[in-house]
Structure 1
Amino acid sequence: MTSPTTPGVPPPVVDLDLGGRTALVTGAASGIGRACALRLAAAGAKVRAVDRDADGLETLAALGTEAGGAVEPQVLDLTDLDAAEAAAAGADILVNNAGLQLVRPIEAFPPDVFHTVLTVMLEAPFRLIRGALPHMYAQGWGRIVNISSVHGLRASAFKSAYVAAKHGLEGLSKTAALEGAPHGVTSVCVNPGYVRTPLVERQIADQAAAHSLPEDQVLADVLLKDSAVKRLVEPEEVAEAVLYLCTPQAAFITGTSIALDGGWTAH
């Protein structure tokens, strides 16, 4: 049995101090991204908060200052792939979180929206990882956390673009893990069920239309139908998982997917 004092093995107490680390979080203006940015900043990281919502970033930066953390807002549209790659240079921690959703049957799904979803949720993470890796490799340490979804592991009707993007993100994350392992870089997907975010709130209206149900039935009968725990995940719960994956104790967790799904994938 390995003892806590074995050379090379971190001590048993989880080290949540990220002082001296720079973290980049996409989709940081609200929801999971905001929670991750604030939690990483509270742990001492300097956070580059990326989003196209300038007002949301301004609010986030103020919240970070109030909490004693360092949050640097950066207004960026991730469809500008060259700018996305450049923004990731020098990051020690990369949290790929930005996403969008449209609920439509395939035959009615607008091709331009499908393209945009894949650009923001798959191609942009590739470019961000590509931009971050040279620095991570040079220092022999890095953390890539990809905010996937249960829909990276399971499919749902009417979400072709989102499901395709998340499944692609899973493969990208595993490839980054295999390539990064010799350089001290981990890559992990975090797979929450439905989270209490503006994105999910908008989905309730879309799902109501798709399933011809009143909105007050959608949460229980559609969104949480397959979840054993009948509630939404809170953004702060996801942020705690992300923070742990950035600690020394998580150095052996890579190339995998961590489900925060209330038992959805237990079926």
Structure 2
Amino acid sequence: MTSQTGSTPRVALVTGTSSGIGAAVVKHFCELGYQVLAVDFNSAGKEVADAAGAAFFQADLTDPLACREAVNDAVRRFGSVDILVNNAGVQHVSAIEDFPEEKWRQIIDLMLTAPFLLAQAAWPHMRKAEWGRIINIASVHAQVASPGKAAYVSAKHGLIGFTKTAALEGGTQGITANAICPAYVKTPLVDNQIADQAKLNNMDEQEVVEKIMLKNAAVKRLIEPQEVAQMVAYLASDAAGAVTGASWNIDLGWTAQ
């Protein structure tokens, strides 16, 4: 896989980078020689970026202006944006009847509207270069649903639709768009769900892991963030130039049933 255009390193903007998948992607991209802007709401993301050798931009991506400013910051620092990895996400688990409207709006704004706005802002730079990669971190919940996750499931399903549309519009401009759909990954986001799921389902936390998170998996383990980062790196490479509009399942066999 290459990170170069001639002698110029590719520029990658990655969101949701303070931990988990985003942190793993930032680290892996830096190892490959990319120029990376790590974007996160949490100021702890700066430590992750500094350790990897990336730049950091703190932003609340539920704010449309912040989405555009993140792209502008990458352009100011590095001259362009070649790769966009939409990874930022939050979760809230409760039944539809009790689901807070403000949580619904937060999840949709962060996990569906922000990827659109970031792609829209980065698109002219990719089009000018006649090369671009949009990689959306979706979820197995972009393919199937689970109780208690109305907003998350809706956002992730919508992200697949956006990915396909971006692929069709970008095909003649050298821009590809793909989605990655992992099952449960060892991240703080997943850790924080365990207690919520235990309460919702009247289980203890170990039961949640065994009977909910791994119930439908053929491979009975959680996924490592580095495994997702390696798939991101492939889709960001020149080797994946013919791959677009696809949803890549890293789901331990969940959707094979």
Matched, 1:266 2:256: yes
Given candidates 176, 180, 192, the residue that maps to 1:202 is 192
Structure 1 ranges of 4+ moved more than 6 A? none
Give 2:147's aligned amino acid: A
- 1:143 aligns with one of 133, 144, 151: 133
Q: Deviation string for 1:135-189 (max 9, x for gaps)?
A: 0001100000000000001111110000000001000111000000000100000
Gaps of 5+ in 1: 1-14, 65-69
Name the count of aligned residue pairs: 247
Give the match for residue 48 of structure 2: 60
Partner of 1:67: none
CA distance in 1, matches of 2:59, 2:3: 28
Give the structure 1 partner of residue 76 of structure 2. Answer: none
Q: Under a length normalisation based on structure 2, what TM-score does the superposition of the two structures give? A: 0.94
Q: Which residue of 2 aligns with 1:256?
A: 246
**In structure 2, the residue corresponding to 1:88 is in which secondary structure?**
helix
Structure 2, gaps ≥5 residues long: 73-79
* SS in structure 2 at match of 1:79: coil
Could you tell me which amino acid in structure 2 is paired with residue 61 of structure 1?
A: A
How far apart, in 2, do the equivalents of 1:127 and 1:247 lie? 23
Q: Which has the larger radius of gyration?
A: 1
Tell me how far 1:62 sits from its aligned partner: 3.0
1:31 equivalent in alignment to 2:29: no
Structure-2 residue corresponding to 1:83: 66
Please tell me the residue identity of whatever aligns with 1:225. K
Pair 1:171-2:161 in alignment: yes
* Identity %, equivalent residues: 47
**Equivalent residue of 1:49, what SS?**
strand
Contact 1:16 1:244 in 2 (8 A): no
For residues 83-114 of structure 1, give each alpha carbon's deviation from its aligned partner in whole angstroms, at most 9, with x where no partner exists. 20232243110000000000100000001110
Instruction: Write the distance in 2 (CA, Å) between the matches of 1:16 and 1:215.
Output: 43
Is 1:152–1:191's contact at 8 Å kept on the other side of the alignment? yes
How far the C-alpha of 1:227 sits from its partner, in A, is 0.5
Structure 1-normalised TM-score?
0.91
Output aligned runs, 1:1-267, within 5 Å.
15-18=1-4, 20-54=9-43, 56-64=44-52, 70-89=53-72, 90-267=80-257
Give the secondary-structure state (helix, strand or coil) at the position aligned to 2:9.
Answer: coil
Q: What is the deviation of 1:61? A: 2.4
- Judge conservation of contact 2:26–2:49 (CA < 8 Å) in 1: no
CA distance in 1, matches of 2:181, 2:103: 23
